[in-house]
Structure 1
């Protein structure tokens, strides 16, 4: 439990640090708009609940093998999903990479403090 809390502290500290960067903030706004558009699209066209729509819009952009058991049924939904994934996965990866780099920088600075640099 202690290691989880320490890891969470590192992650949150890194996120607060990277939030100061204009690039990260613009990526986050872009990702938010992409998620909003996906959520509203799936809610309207596929007639999914708001939670299912947001869940699919979010999970489909994360590079994992999580099965949502949701899939677009309409032709328009399938076309939208193909374009949505091409655009959204790139933005999501950029956000995750920036957070990862911030965590690595935080770790490096913590190590320097421990060694007295």
Structure 2
């Protein structure tokens, strides 16, 4: 199954920096805004995580079903204002980056 992961421009924060992308705890790419990573994964459960310094998305689990041929996931930085940025940098460090799965032109949280 083909997996495509895209970093989107979700906030003014960290626009010039790349995020480290991990699949199944293995670093697979450094992505800047607008860049994509594609790979092929077997059917089953997998984890995905993005990191920037000490902040991250936390490990997110997703499942690839045998009926799926392609999965598209987007991610970006959550903070949208200075107060939110400070919260996510010091308290919500594992929610600084968020993933969403793109399905039929709709975005759904990756759960």
TM-score range, shorter chain: under 0.3
Who wins on radius of gyration, i.e. which is larger?
A: 1
> Which TM-score applies when normalising by structure 2?
0.24
The higher-RCO structure (CA 8 Å, 6+ apart) is: 1
Structure with higher helix content: 1
